[in-house]
Structure 1
Amino acid sequence: MKLSPETIDKIAHLARLEVQEDEKQGLLDDMNKILTFMDKLNEVDTSGVEPLVYMNDEVNVLREDEIKQEISREIALKNAPKEDGKFFRVAKVINKP
């Protein structure tokens, strides 16, 4: 499978990237190399190979959650630029229609 410059434009649009014209050929070459490599991997016979769930046999050692230091609401809000006595006040960042 070979990619075209139009495919680069579509991918850039979907990823919300601005790709300059002089960068397109390099991206096209790199992506075609990746796809060629993936085609090579598809040629490998993997029948009888169990899917790999973990990369190694190490077991993740988890610790219990403990409260180490507790601060009061007043102390937490003390250095807040804006607060209402209970919560931090922040500027609205999501506009709902």
Structure 2
Amino acid sequence: LEHIKVSRVGNLNRTVEKLKENGLTIVGLDAAGDSEYTQIDFTGPVLVVVGSEGKGLSRLMRDNCDQVASIPMAGQISSLNVSVSAAIVLYEAFNQRSKAG
């Protein structure tokens, strides 16, 4: 994870569909995720899509995801900044890949 490919695309949903067809696992990150991010397998080819701070993932994007994960919150905090959330999940991916060799 020293180098992460970042892209700007015209239509994110179409791009995600194409990447999924090419074998990537699509993981959405949303406060209303179905499982905790630590339960996701990040060792293979994966695309992480992060929902917006206000609205989370769109319904269509959520439908395009193979899995939707959340970061558990404690206390009165209901969500994190998008960049912080992405960093937490990317660090989990790094840890899993490091352990996998």
Of the two structures, which has the highest relative contact order with CA contacts closer than 8 Å and spacing of 6 or more?
Answer: 2
Tell which structure's C-alpha radius of gyration is larger.
Answer: 1
Q: Same fold (TM over 0.5)?
A: no
More strand by share: 2
What TM-score comes out, normalization by structure 1 length? Answer: 0.28
